[in-house]
Homo-oligomer: A and B are copies of this chain.
Amino acid sequence: MSKEAKHGVAEAIAADLRDAIERGEYGPGDQLPGENALIKEYGAARLTVRSALGMLQAEGLTTTRRGVGVFVRSFDPIVRNGISRVSARKWKAGRSVWDDETRGRRPTVDHIEIVPEAEAPGDVAAIFDSTEEVATRRRRYLLDDKPVIVATSYLPASLVAGTRILEEDTGPGGIYARLADLGQAPAHFREDILSRMPTKAETEELAIPAGTPVFVLTRTAVTEAGDPVEVNVMVMDAGAYVLRYDFDA
């Protein structure tokens, strides 16, 4: 058989399995038929069957557990409500941005890195519109033992020097409540969302499965006077999130 014909067979097998997944015949977390079963069912070569399974994985429909088999990706996402999670009502009451969105599942920080003074990366410096040094808080969050997000906050170093913002535990209401204590409460937010494939370092740090992109969400907090006081660059496993925005016409 020609290479093109084999490719056609692989596509046909992939299309059958894709349809079965979309019909719900194989649900989230279900195991697909193994290579041997597919070889028998379609009378196809092993490499052809592998190629078909590879197509489904590249589309993000399935994940492979080595030595076990191929499974329909299960998607029990964090629904991240961009607007209500950072409402002043919330942080003024000392609540966490996570309170509503993980339906009882508690995310944990397993790694935190605080640098009191550093040069801002170019895109962050452009937002602050200054060459001033920044303090950074970089933390990784796990949900159900899986890393889901690495968030790096940048704040003007001179503003936050000696404050609880540079301690591991920033206290009730977090960074925004502490900025309010300093008379620099955030009044407006901008969130800019990109999506792209992860770098090798991101794949490792977030344990991202093959065929899964990342969201890169940059949130800028601005005071009533119009001064940016925090830029938070979040790199998120896109397979773990739905980003939600509710607003009025």
Residues on A facing B (Cβ under 8 Å): 11, 18, 55, 58-60, 77, 79, 82-83, 86-88, 176, 185-200, 211-213, 215, 221, 238-239, 242-249
The answer for the CA separation of A58 and B211 in the assembled complex, in Å, is 10
Q: Are A60 and B197 in contact (CB under 8 A)?
A: yes
Partner of A59, one of B79, B87, B197, B247: B197
Pick from A88, A188, A238 the residue with the most CB of B within 10 Å. Answer: A238
CA–CA, A139 and B241, complex, Å:
27
Whole-angstrom distance between the Cβ of A60 and the nearest chain B Cβ: 5
Q: Which residues of B contact A18 (CB under 8 A)?
A: 199
Across the interface, name the chain B residue whose C-beta is closest to A223.
B249
User: How distant is the Cα of A86 from the Cα of B249 in the complex, in angstroms?
Assistant: 6
Min CB distance A239 to B, Å, is 7
Residue in B213, B221, B248 whose beta carbon sits within 8 Å of that of A189 in the complex: B248
Across the interface, which residues of B come within 8 angstroms of A221, CB to CB? 249
Give Cα A196 to B243, complex, Å: 13
Contact between chains at A88 and B245 (CB < 8 Å):
no
Point out which of A77, A83, A197, A199 has the most chain B C-beta atoms below 10 A from its C-beta.
Answer: A197
